[in-house]
Every structure is written in C-alpha cells, then in structure tokens.
Amino acid sequence: MKRMMLLFAALLIGGAAYVNAQQVIDKDLCGLWQYVEEREAPDGSIQYVGKPIFKSINQDNSYFAMVCVTIDVAGSEKEKPYSVTETYVTQRGEIEVKAVGNYLEYIAEHYTNPGLTNTITSLKYEFKDADKNIMYIEYLTANNNDTWFGETWRKVQPFGSK
C-alpha cells in the first residue's frame, strides 16, 4: 500500500511539473503595448513615437489588437467641424509561449485581413531596456513564411509614472 501511495504521489508531482513546463509564461510579456516608431532625436538618442495601434497580452494567454482612428465630422449648421476617435479591435486570439523569447499567436479572428483568421503566427521577442518596457518583435505570417517582419512596441504605463 505504501508503494502504491508513493507511486501515486510521484505521478501527481510529475504531472504537475509537466503541466507547468507546458505553460511557460513570461510575466513581462503581459500588459498593454503600443506600437511605436523609432526616431533619432537631434542629440542622437532614440525616441519612440507612439502610433494608434495597441495590443493587449493577458495572463490567461488571450490577446487582442486594436487601432484608434480619427474621423473628421463636418458638423451641422450650428456646430463647427470636429473630430472623433473611434477604436476598433483588429484581431484576437490566444498565445502560446514556447520559451522566453518565442511565442505563437493563434489568430482566432483577423478583422482587417480575413485571410489570417484561423492561422498561426510565430513571433520572436526581445526586451530592449532594463525595465522591459520596450520590446522588439519579429514574426513570420502564415501567408509569407520566408520573410521576417519587425516591429517595436512600448508598454503602456499608468498615468503619471515615468
């Protein structure tokens, strides 16, 4: 009986270790990210200029991307022309972190390019600063497996933080 209990305990511990090994997660990857463009400042430093494109990577391995679009409105006879900003989800799905520095995006729906719906994109990522607030990614799309594309993302910080 003791051997049976020992075997059961060993299987239980081994099974838990296997499940944890399958769920490699990089907590620094989770958060709200903004697509940025790198520009060289007059003093030679690199500045990151935010674009209206965001990606949320969640701790439950789900993600979604969204874009903000500014629309000019003519106004009425009593109103001057004005602008409104609309936000649209452009894609959603789940990620699977294969190892630190590499994950897969399972694209459940891609609203701007329906040809990417139900595909898998392989991504490599690297943090470029000590605080892990700047991330470079490279990816292969399901439709173009021979060309790597690169992007730079900045983690969105709470208002007032530096």
Contacts of 138 (CB under 8 A, 6+ apart): 123, 124, 125, 148, 149, 150, 151
Among the listed residues 8, 7, 55, the one whose alpha carbon sits nearest the alpha carbon of residue 155: 55
Q: How far is the CA of 75 from the CAs of 69, 72, 78, 87, in angstroms?
A: 18, 9, 8, 20
Q: Among 21-35, 83-97, 98-112, 143-157, which is the least confidently predicted range?
A: 21-35
Residue 147 has pLDDT above 70, yes or no: yes
- For 28, counting Cβ atoms within 10 Å of its Cβ (0-12 exposed, 13-18 middle, 19+ buried), the class is middle
pTM of the model: 0.78
pLDDT tens for each residue of 9-25: 443 444 444 444 445 56
CATH class label, 27-155: mainly beta
Among the listed residues 22, 150, 28, the one whose alpha carbon sits nearest the alpha carbon of residue 96: 22
In sequence order, what are the beta bridge partners of 139? 123, 149
